[in-house]
Amino acid sequence: MMPQINPTLAMILVLVGFYLVYAVCLYTFQHAIMFPGMRTLEGVEPPDLPDGAERFWVRVDDKPVEGWLLPPTQEIKRSPLVIFAHGNAELIDFFKDRFQTFRDSGLAVALVGYPGYGRSKGSASERTLIDTFTKAYDVLLARDDVDGQNVILVGRSMGGGAACLLADRRPSKALILISTYQSMLKMSRRYLVPSFLVRSPLNNIDVLRRYPNPVLVLHGPEDLVIPYSHGVALAEAAADGTLWTYEHVAHVDCPPDWDAFCVRTLEYLYETGILNR
């Protein structure tokens, strides 16, 4: 006769089996989950570039990744540079008009894409983001019309991780994080995933503990994607951190008005001495 299995033990074994399958699937497909734009977002050819904008390319794993440089709207010999990293379900195309206030104030803005997004080839991960953004930085700062002493990094949502990766490897005057997470290790706990299964940890809070310059964090308490507590923790971890709280603003709506964000951010950069008027 076959021995009877205790029903409670059988249920535990089934649940453990389901969890192991769940964990294996998350480990295998986590980059597709973290960077869904690799498979769902396609860029238009040719792109609709703003007036005066230039396309540039860097090669990551021997595949082309696209960026746009939006110069100031006025003649400036060497302009401060803002490098922007977008969210995981966005394209550089979405932001072509959102930094007009920066451009009108004499700043250049670089929109850097991700491997596999839009017209770019390859696959996004922490490793390829490091390669993409450090190469883009080096290409941009080799230009005669860019002031390499005045570089500001801006990242939104997933792009906050890209901005932090760059801030940890190249000099910058300030770091601005919009609706950004502490780390993927912290985020993984919401999905009951142990940290050792996270292949791209994107440990932003550790970067901020080392970062010597001002950090500006924007976040909304009603963010259901990345909890507001992450923004609070990031601002507190920085040696010189400032938190702007946007009430009644969800994840995708932060900041709610990009022109107002640019105006307020410029005032912050001038008042803190990060940029000179």
Q: Do the strands 215-219 and 174-178 form a parallel or antiparallel pair, or are they unpaired? A: parallel
**Is 277 a member of any domain?**
no
Number of domains in the chain: 1
**Is 90 a member of any domain?**
yes
Give the single-character DSSP code of 252. Answer: G
- Domain coverage including residue 24: 7-271
**Is 229 a member of any domain?**
yes
Query: What type of residue sits at position 58?
Result: V
Rounded CA gap, 66 and 100, in Å?
20
Phi-psi domain of 176 (left: phi exceeds 0; alpha: psi -120 through 50; beta: other): beta
With contact defined as beta carbons under 8 Å apart, do 72 and 107 qualify? yes
Would you state the pLDDT for residue 17?
Answer: 64
**Which tokens sit at 131?**
């390669």
Query: What type of residue sits at position 138?
Result: D
Rounded CA gap, 258 and 103, in Å?
13
**Is 96 a member of any domain?**
yes
pLDDT tens track of the chain, all 277 residues?
556 667 776 677 666 666 666 566 666 667 777 898 888 888 888 888 998 999 999 999 999 999 999 999 998 999 999 999 999 999 999 999 999 999 999 999 999 999 999 999 999 999 999 999 999 999 999 999 999 999 999 999 999 999 999 999 999 999 999 999 999 888 766 666 776 677 789 999 999 999 999 999 999 999 999 999 999 999 999 999 999 999 999 999 999 999 999 999 999 999 999 998 8
Query: What type of residue sits at position 38?
Result: M
**Is 1 a member of any domain?**
no
**Is 276 a member of any domain?**
no
Would you state the pLDDT for residue 271?
Answer: 96
Rounded CA gap, 163 and 141, in Å?
16
With contact defined as beta carbons under 8 Å apart, do 215 and 205 qualify? no
Element (H, E) at 23: helix 7-34
Would you state the pLDDT for residue 61?
Answer: 98
**Is 2 a member of any domain?**
no
Which residue intervals of 154-257 are DSSP H helices? 158-167, 184-188, 204-210, 228-237
CATH number at residue 230: 3.40.50.1820
Rounded CA gap, 244 and 255, in Å?
10
Rounded CA gap, 82 and 172, in Å?
10
